[in-house]
């Protein structure tokens, strides 16, 4: 499931090749994604030039003349730049460029989203309530401490709440809590300042490392098939129930929190 690092890796992989390219054709092969692809998407983006690609949380923002193409990859989405458009199953959207290449959105589970928005992109209903960027300076121990004082929710649920901090999904929430030594079920307001310090640092570390590794994995991403970087990432706890903790060898435990699989070491995380 693409989280911030996978989305950022995609952005970095695509941006150099797409900047300045004009879209000459748009093919919507399957409009039924999480929300329907706008029927007039072709008219909206056809003929327009891509000025650049930004990221906000897990959203990719393609700046075009007079508007923004907003893309969310859901949990199984990927964007690839290919030389020949030979659509395969689940290739739902094909944007053909003026250099003969094609940007293909593949999303088997169709939880993704493709939208067109005119006007300031941070005013879009899906973006305007997003919280801070976890890799920005404003997200730090102090921010985390302040924003956890008034909530008794489990800290993991809070980390995954996009309205507080944008981009952390299930995998990296699990990993950051493990790295920080904080138990996922801890009520947010029970975290000490010291723990917020460790957690904020852990979040930045885990995300930055994943982006680095993703960049390595996807070096030839734009030329060929893009596999999400997290397949390459060494995970400490996620998906490792019953296996030994990398730090103390105690078996990793699993529970469900907010309908999400949650993995932790009950010895290392308090």
Residues near DNA (CB under 7 A) are: 1, 3, 32, 34, 57-58, 72, 74-76, 89-90, 108-111, 126, 150-154, 157, 160, 162, 169-171, 256, 258-261
Neighbours of 132 (CB within 10 A): 18
**175 given a catalytic annotation:** no
**260 given a catalytic annotation:** yes
Closest separation between CB of residue 156 and DNA, Å? 10
Closest separation between CB of residue 147 and DNA, Å? 11
Which of 168, 164, 243, 246 has its CA nearest to residue 206? 168
What is the torsional sign of CA 92, 166, 138, 206? negative
Which residue, 97 or 188, is less far from DNA as judged by CB? 188
Which residue, 5 or 13, is less far from DNA as judged by CB? 5
What does the alpha-carbon distance between residue 74 and residue 77 come to, in Å, rounded to a whole number?
6
What does the alpha-carbon distance between residue 83 and residue 103 come to, in Å, rounded to a whole number?
9
Q: Which of 204, 254, 260, 267 is catalytic?
A: 260
**125 given a catalytic annotation:** no
What does the alpha-carbon distance between residue 161 and residue 17 come to, in Å, rounded to a whole number?
33
Closest separation between CB of residue 154 and DNA, Å? 7
Closest separation between CB of residue 262 and DNA, Å? 8
Provide the pairing of β-strand 102-106 with 23-28. unpaired
What does the alpha-carbon distance between residue 251 and residue 125 come to, in Å, rounded to a whole number?
43
Q: Which of 56, 58, 80, 186 is catalytic?
A: 58
Helices (H), ranges, 55-169: 141-148, 155-159
**Main-chain dihedrals φ then ψ at residue 69, nearest 5 degrees:** -90, 115
**213 given a catalytic annotation:** no
Q: What DSSP state is assigned to residue 229? A: G
What does the alpha-carbon distance between residue 21 and residue 37 come to, in Å, rounded to a whole number?
22
Which residue, 97 or 264, is less far from DNA as judged by CB? 264
Closest separation between CB of residue 258 and DNA, Å? 6
Helix or strand or coil: residue 205?
helix
Structural tokens at position 125:
């209903």
Looking at the annotation, which residues are catalytic?
2-3, 58, 260
């Amino acid at each position: 499931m693409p989280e911030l690092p996978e989305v950022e890796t995609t952005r970095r992989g695509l941006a150099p090749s797409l900047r300045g390219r004009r879209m000459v054709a748009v093919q919507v092969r399957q409009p039924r994604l999480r929300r329907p692809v706008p029927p007039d998407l072709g008219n909206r983006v056809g003929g327009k030039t891509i000025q650049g690609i930004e990221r906000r949380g897990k959203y990719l923002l393609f700046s075009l003349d007079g508007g923004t193409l907003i893309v969310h990859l859901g949990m199984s989405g990927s964007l690839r730049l290919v030389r020949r458009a030979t659509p395969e199953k689940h290739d739902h959207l094909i944007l053909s460029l003026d250099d003969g290449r094609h940007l293909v959105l593949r999303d088997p589970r169709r939880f993704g989203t493709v939208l067109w928005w005119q006007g300031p992109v941070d005013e879009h209903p899906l973006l305007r309530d997003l919280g801070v960027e976890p890799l920005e300076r404003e997200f730090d121990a102090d921010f985390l401490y302040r924003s956890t004082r008034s909530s008794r929710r489990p800290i993991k649920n809070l980390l995954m709440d996009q309205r507080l901090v944008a981009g952390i999904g299930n995998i990296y929430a699990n990993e950051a809590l493990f790295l920080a030594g904080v138990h996922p079920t801890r009520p947010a307001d029970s975290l000490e300042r010291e723990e917020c310090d460790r957690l904020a640092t852990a979040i930045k570390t885990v995300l930055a490392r994943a982006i680095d590794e993703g960049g390595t994995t996807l070096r030839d991403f734009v030329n060929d098939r893009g596999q999400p970087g997290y397949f390459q990432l060494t995970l400490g706890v996620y998906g490792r129930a019953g296996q030994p903790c990398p730090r103390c060898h105690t078996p990793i435990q699993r529970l469900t929190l907010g309908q999400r699989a949650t993995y932790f070491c009950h010895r290392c995380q308090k």
